[in-house]
Structure 1
Amino acid sequence: MDASSTYAAEHFQRLGFRILDHDRQTRFGLLSLVAYDGSVLVFAQLTTGEVDRTEPSLRERTLMRRRAAVWITDTPASPIGADLRFDAIHVRLDEGGALRTLDHSEGAF
């Protein structure tokens, strides 16, 4: 897990979520983070860099839903009956790799 993913995972853990998976490659692309708090299963899209991209495009939203469906289907221990939520997280690091900002958009799509 790279630094940006680690910061995003720690953020979810502070919110009371358990990280179920991260950086899972599917046939529809990379699934950044899957977190669960006992009732809500969150699929988070992680972006990094200077430009804040917490608003995914229609194509990105479609691909994320497909990645989530693959994850649920392929993961025997996926929580049954959980509410699903799709979040966007944008992480900016400084030159030394320390967290500068983390923007979390719950229910981004």
Structure 2
Amino acid sequence: MGENTGVHRAAHRDRCGAIGAIGEGFAAEFLQAQHWRILERNWRTRYGELDLIAADGTTLVIVEVKTRASHVYTDPVAAVTPAKLRRMRLLARQWLAARPPGSPWWEVIRFDVVSVQLSLADPTDRAAARLRHHRGLVE
């Protein structure tokens, strides 16, 4: 019985990872269509990961992408907690500190969420996906 549970968990993790990757791809395409530059995708440290780091003109934007292929939340942004926002700020400071000398200086840094609700029938269907852009989240 325990072995089947482990297999089920692994399959669930794989599906969640695939759903997340689809959503991040859709979010990156959406932001690029707004003339944003994607500077990093899935930037990781031992403390966590930033989904997208982008430039909106002269503003650095740290973007959390929340993707769902279910109807657990009306809008997946509901899954972004104050603790998650604090972690995003910590990771943003780490990313900025790791920049090489001469890197652009960002006078404005903003934290956004792009929520992606995928079709249950076909999560890869971009036309059926609903994206919402939440700008400037604060705790």
Asked if 1:70 corresponds to 2:72, the answer is no
CA contact (8 A) 2:43 2:49 kept: yes
Asked if 1:37 corresponds to 2:61, the answer is no
Name structure 2 gaps, 5 residues minimum.
1-19
2:116 counterpart (75, 91, 95) = 91
CA contact (8 A) 1:47 1:89 kept: yes
Relative to structure 2, which stretch is displaced further, 14-23 or 55-64? 55-64
Letter aligned with residue 105 of structure 1: H
CA contact (8 A) 1:54 1:108 kept: no
The 1:18/1:61 distance shift into structure 2, 3 A limit, reads same
Asked if 1:107 corresponds to 2:133, the answer is no
Name structure 1 gaps, 5 residues minimum.
none
1:28 counterpart (44, 47, 61) = 47
User: After superposition, what is the alpha-carbon deviation per residue over 1:42-93, rounded to whole angstroms, capped at 9, x for unaligned?
Assistant: 0001111132232521101100101111111113275213310000111112
4+ runs deviating over 3 angstroms: none
CA distance in 1 between counterparts of 2:21 and 2:38 reads 15
Shift of 1:40: 0.5
Greater relative contact order (CA < 8 Å, ≥ 6 in sequence): 1
CA distance in 2 between counterparts of 1:43 and 1:15 reads 15
CA distance in 2 between counterparts of 1:98 and 1:78 reads 37
Percent identity between the aligned chains?
A: 31
**TM-score normalised to the size of structure 2?**
0.71
TM alignment of 1:51-62, pairs within 5 A? 51=73, 52-55=75-78, 56-62=80-86
TM alignment of 1:2-21, pairs within 5 A? 2-21=21-40
CA RMSD of superposed structures (Å): 1.8
